[in-house]
């Protein structure tokens, strides 16, 4: 899905494969949809701190699907950087 953030438009994945979650695990596509909703909310958040909290909480909640692994976390960082501007490396 394409979302307009505070700094520009960003593409947010909506599937387990798109987020690079454990895609063969039952429930992983639902986890991906929840991550997409959180990312949408984060790129529109009023503050950088709020965006980090929203995305970090979502990644932790979906950790059993691999959301805290390097690849999904990298997707989240890229989404925030593109949608909000600035660097989010190692913040979530």
pLDDT digits 0-9 by tens, 1-38 = 999 998 889 999 999 999 999 989 999 999 999 999 99
Look at residue 62 and tell me if it is in a domain.
yes
Instruction: Tell me which residue range forms the domain holding 60.
Output: 2-84
Say how far apart CA 47 and CA 31 lie, in whole Å. 25
Say how far apart CA 59 and CA 45 lie, in whole Å. 16
Look at residue 72 and tell me if it is in a domain.
yes
Number of domains composing the chain: 1
Look at residue 92 and tell me if it is in a domain.
no
Burial class (CB in 10 A: 0-12, 13-18, 19+), 77: middle
Look at residue 90 and tell me if it is in a domain.
no
Q: What is the pLDDT of residues 49-88, one digit of tens each?
A: 999 999 999 999 999 999 999 999 999 999 999 999 999 9
Say how far apart CA 56 and CA 44 lie, in whole Å. 15
Helices (H), the chain: 16-19, 28-43, 48-61, 70-84
């Amino acid at each position: 899905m394409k979302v307009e953030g505070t700094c520009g438009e960003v593409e947010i994945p909506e599937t387990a494969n798109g987020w690079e979650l454990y895609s063969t695990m039952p429930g992983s596509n639902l986890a991906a949809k929840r991550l997409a909703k959180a990312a949408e909310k984060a790129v529109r958040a009023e503050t950088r701190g709020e965006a980090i909290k929203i995305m970090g909480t979502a990644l932790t909640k979906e950790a059993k699907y691999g959301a805290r692994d390097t690849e999904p976390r990298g997707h989240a960082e890229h989404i925030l950087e593109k949608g909000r501007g600035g660097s989010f490396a190692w913040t979530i």
